[in-house]
Amino acid sequence: MRRVLAAALVLAALPASALYSRTAQKEQVAKVSLKVGDTAPDFSLLSDEWKTVRLSDYKGKKNVLLAVYVLAFTGG
Amino acid sequence: MDSPAANAAFAKQINIKFPLLSDMNRKMLTAYGIVKAHDVQGETYEWAQRANIVIDKNGVVQHIEEGDSAVNPNNALSVCTDLHKKQAAK
């Protein structure tokens, strides 16, 4: 477990942005769905320390556990 | 979306030692297929599912749990432990 990086994405759910049409959003959402055995798409996200974290930072170094968590402070 | 500042306050409150990441523009969530559309009373809303995803050192997805079962992280943690044991044995 020492070598496992646990990274949690804390996300709040918001209604779809008015900038996109409903149809465009649906198509975008339906397009991609990850499966076991797929190469995980790289990402670049800001941490709670305002540092950029990329999945590729850990390639060849650590296994990564992503826990997607909606709404911090809710205990859910 | 929770900002890095909100995450920092949450991280401090629950004293966690791993990074809390913000996907403010939902790029990662969309690429991973975690954002789902839901029809509620004639309107379509989108929000992220709970999900646990284990990615090995080579960048290959080894485990995915979505929805209610992802609330409990134990399955994902045991996948991580098994991966680590296998890699250590090589």
Q: What is the DSSP string of A10-24?
A: EE---PPPTTS-HHH
CA gap A61, A1 in Å, rounded? 14
Domain positions in chain B are 24-89
Work out the pLDDT band at A6, boundaries 50, 70, 90.
very low
Instruction: For chains A and B, count residue pairs whose Cβ atoms are closer than 8 Å.
Output: 201
Measured between beta carbons, the chain B residues lying within 8 angstroms of A64 are 54-55
Confidence at residue A31, expressed as pLDDT on a 0 to 100 scale: 45
Q: What residue of B is the nearest CA neighbor of A13? A: B47
Q: Per-residue pLDDT tens for B67-83?
A: 888 888 899 999 999 99
- Is A40's Cβ below 8 Å from some Cβ in B? yes
Work out the pLDDT band at B33, boundaries 50, 70, 90.
confident
CA gap A26, A28 in Å, rounded? 5
Whether B37 and A55 lie within 8 Å, measured CB to CB? no
Whether B44 and A16 lie within 8 Å, measured CB to CB? yes
Q: Which of B18, B36, B55, B80 to mutate to test the interface with A (most CBs of A within 10 A)?
A: B55
Work out the pLDDT band at A73, boundaries 50, 70, 90.
low
Give the count of beta carbons closer than 10 Å to the beta carbon of residue B10. 20
Give the gap in angstroms from C-alpha B41 to the nearest C-alpha of chain A.
13
Q: Say if strands B20-22 and A44-47 run parallel, antiparallel, or are unpaired.
A: antiparallel
Q: What residue of A is the nearest CA neighbor of B47? A: A13
Element housing B29 (H / E): helix B27-31
Compare A30 and B2 and report the one with higher pLDDT: B2
Supply φ then ψ for residue A49, to 5 degrees: -100, 15
Most confident of A33-37, A40-44, A68-72, B25-29: A40-44
pLDDT at A51 over 90: yes
Give the residue-averaged pLDDT of A69-73.
Answer: 68
Confidence at residue A10, expressed as pLDDT on a 0 to 100 scale: 40
Residues 6 or more apart whose CB falls under 8 angstroms from that of B50 comprise A68, A69, A70, A76, B66, B67, B68, B70, B71
pLDDT at A33 over 60: yes
Verdict on whether the full-model pTM lies above 0.90 = no
Q: Which amino acid is at B55?
A: I
The closest alpha carbon to A11, from B30, B84, B56, belongs to: B30
Angstrom distances, CA of residue B35 to CA of A69, B11, B58: 12, 23, 25
Work out the pLDDT band at A46, boundaries 50, 70, 90.
very high
